[in-house]
A = this chain, B = another copy of it.
């Protein structure tokens, strides 16, 4: 690990575990240089990282100060599967059931949407998330087959993202998300325990690799009362 990264991790850990309490002042850059036996540029890079990640606030001419606790904990920015977030927020586990798994030629609307070559093959996966005995979330994924070879139903039942990033080593660059309410469809009725709800919250997700190619399109359909989305926007 890069040295500035080590310093960052070390200091961040000390802030999380309370060794460096909120509002306390960090040692000066020169002092940290000696403590970590690093150059000033390296220390500064670590401090920049800390500030970018919301741990500290630098005050020109005064020093670097630790920000309050609850401002730190809340960071799940970036790209996370909503189900995971949802589970972690409630502190409980979600049962996942693979309701469909097929390889198919991308339908026209998907070719259009993902800007694919006609005839491209994709995996289509339906997964139902069961929470407290009720099916409340339906995830429909489309993955470009060439980019995610070797995807199986067993993997889908666990963590597709774990496979993609871990096994395949694909680098995800960014994702476009959209959230909106939609009328319940027949498929929703079939897969979910909808009670009397006439609407679902739909999160669509277009995920791109570093090279700019889209490799995934996903719809995550949530029963109204079981939907929640949180994030932190930073400037």
Contact = CB atoms under 8 A, between A and B. Distances in A.
Interface of A: 22, 54, 57, 67-68, 71, 74, 77-79, 172-181, 199, 201, 208, 210-212, 224-225, 227-235
A225 to B, nearest CB: 7
Number of identical protomers: 2
A180 B179 CA distance: 11
A212 to B, nearest CB: 5
A160 B79 CA distance: 31
A175 B71 contact: no
A181 B225 contact: yes
Contacts of A227: 179-181
A177 B232 contact: yes
A67 B212 CA distance: 7
A235 B75 CA distance: 13
